[in-house]
């Protein structure tokens, strides 16, 4: 079979497919070929259309990738559970389906149940893309708990002698997960400890949640290659947690903690951790807009000498001058490496120091941020606070759907065997 016949795509066609009659003219190739990838993103799919698509997808035993991103634009909230259930029920038992992309669909708490049931049961899952779905902390807990349940099912299948892949990728950004769901996510990552890529950007996670996520969850992920927690809040507490755990990630290639308020002291701690030289594969560090001061820049310049694979460091938007001596040291070191190992074709965006055009400079009158926050609070009290936030998240009100009870849909999906 040619590669073109292995992939079926309606990507970006902007189709509004509501009925069976609407969808049929577009899926002849899907019916005819034993496809390995299906890309439906960028269209608007109704309940009946999803039912037809689901019936066809259920027959594709070699399907590996299902891209269902952005498929409910202009659909009513009440339509999404049924439509999503038709699709996910159909692909639940496909033995080779390892990648699911449901980015840019407005699930939230009211429409997440079919997805939660699917994630808890689809043993072949390796790569999950769940970005910009409006989950909130309560739905975030349900998703994380589903992935923890998935781990148990993977382990049970292994005990039966089956070959089962590890969960390797979780992309779950722009979902307002907040502190309330971090206990659940930490548990998930402590279980799925072979994971390689984690991206949880812009989730409104504060320092208590970040610290718990890293200290209780990510510290177990020894094979981690990419960690992106940009646009959450670390402060000194989160920085301490990161500094304590980062040296254990020997396979780490990218560390992205830009716009995380590491602060002056926190950045020095993180730099010192990297300077231990235990992250020999680290290529990229993203540190923009973190209130990093000259001692922090010097710390990263010193660390770079102990990071032989380092190619790129991003420092724009911090609190030092562009002519800082440490910037010159970094640039010279990375230029030398680019010349030595960059090869004939070089992507300049992958090398050197980023453009420093939004530096704040040093304010001699500005006191260092209050980075000893809650130093008198015990770990038990911090844990209790997170538990309380998790309980509050789970009390988040939901909108009752008139068309179909979401719990019934989840039950129906969960009863589908694997």
Q: How far apart are CA 288 and CA 254, in angstroms?
A: 14
Per-residue pLDDT tens over the stretch 36-64? 999 999 999 999 999 999 999 999 999 99
Two tokens at 239?
């920085």
Two tokens at 217?
């969850």
- Beta strands per DSSP E along 41-159: 44-45, 65-67, 99-101, 127-129
66 vs 39, 60, 312, CA distance in Å?
6, 11, 33
Bridge partners, 227 (sequence order):
198, 255
Q: How far apart are CA 355 and CA 357, in angstroms?
A: 6
DSSP secondary structure code for residue 335 in this structure: H
What mean pLDDT, rounded, does the chain reach?
Answer: 91
Whole-number pLDDT of residue 374: 56
Per-residue pLDDT tens over the stretch 338-388? 999 888 888 989 999 999 999 997 764 444 444 445 555 666 666 667 767
Q: What's the rounded mean pLDDT across residues 212-216?
A: 98
Q: How far apart are CA 137 and CA 179, in angstroms?
A: 8
Q: How far apart are CA 260 and CA 213, in angstroms?
A: 14
pLDDT band at 393 (very low <50, low <70, confident <90, very high): low
Q: How far apart are CA 229 and CA 287, in angstroms?
A: 11
- Which residue is associated with the tokens 């439509």? 83
The H or E element spanning position 91 is helix 80-91
Q: How far apart are CA 217 and CA 56, in angstroms?
A: 39
Two tokens at 134?
């409006």
């Amino acid at each position: 079979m040619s590669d073109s016949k292995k992939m079926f795509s309606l990507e970006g066609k902007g189709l509004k497919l509501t009925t069976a009659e609407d969808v049929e003219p577009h899926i002849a190739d899907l019916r005819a070929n034993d496809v390995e990838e299906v890309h439906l993103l960028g269209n608007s799919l109704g309940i009946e259309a999803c039912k037809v698509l689901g019936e066809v997808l259920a027959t594709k035993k070699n399907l590996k990738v299902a891209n269902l991103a952005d498929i409910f634009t202009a659909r009513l909230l009440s339509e999404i559970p049924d439509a999503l259930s038709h699709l996910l029920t159909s692909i639940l038992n496909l033995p080779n389906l390892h990648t699911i992309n449901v980015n840019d669909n407005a699930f939230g708490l009211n429409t997440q149940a079919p997805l939660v049931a699917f994630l808890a049961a689809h043993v072949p899952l390796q790569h999950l893309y769940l970005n910009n779905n409006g989950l909130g902390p309560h739905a975030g807990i349900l998703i994380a708990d589903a992935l923890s349940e998935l781990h148990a099912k993977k382990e049970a299948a292994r005990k039966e002698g089956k070959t089962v892949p590890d969960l390797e990728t979780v992309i779950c950004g722009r979902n307002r997960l907040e502190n309330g769901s971090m206990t659940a996510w930490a548990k998930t990552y402590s279980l799925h400890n072979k994971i390689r890529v984690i991206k949880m950007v812009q989730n409104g996670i504060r320092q208590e949640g970040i610290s718990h996520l890293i200290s209780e969850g990510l510290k177990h992920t020894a094979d981690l290659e990419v960690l992106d927690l940009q646009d959450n809040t670390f402060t000194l507490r989160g920085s301490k947690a990161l500094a304590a755990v980062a040296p254990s990630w020997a396979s780490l290639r990218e560390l992205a903690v830009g716009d995380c308020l590491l602060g002056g002291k926190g950045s020095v701690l993180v730099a010192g951790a990297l300077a231990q030289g235990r992250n020999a594969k680290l290529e990229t560090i993203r540190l923009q807009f973190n209130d990093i001061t000259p001692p922090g820049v010097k710390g990263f310049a010193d660390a770079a000498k102990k990071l032989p694979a380092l190619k790129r460091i991003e420092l724009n938007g911090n609190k030092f001058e562009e002519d800082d001596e440490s910037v010159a040291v970094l640039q010279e070191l990375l230029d030398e490496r680019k010349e030595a190992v960059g090869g004939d074709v070089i992507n300049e965006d992958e090398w050197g120091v980023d453009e420093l055009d939004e530096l704040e400079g040093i304010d001699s009158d500005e006191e260092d941020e209050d980075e000893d926050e809650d130093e008198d609070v015990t770990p038990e009290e911090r844990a209790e606070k997170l538990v309380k936030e998790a309980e509050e998240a789970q009390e988040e009100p939901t909108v009752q759907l008139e068309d179909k009870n979401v719990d019934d849909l989840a039950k129906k999906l969960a009863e589908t065997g694997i």
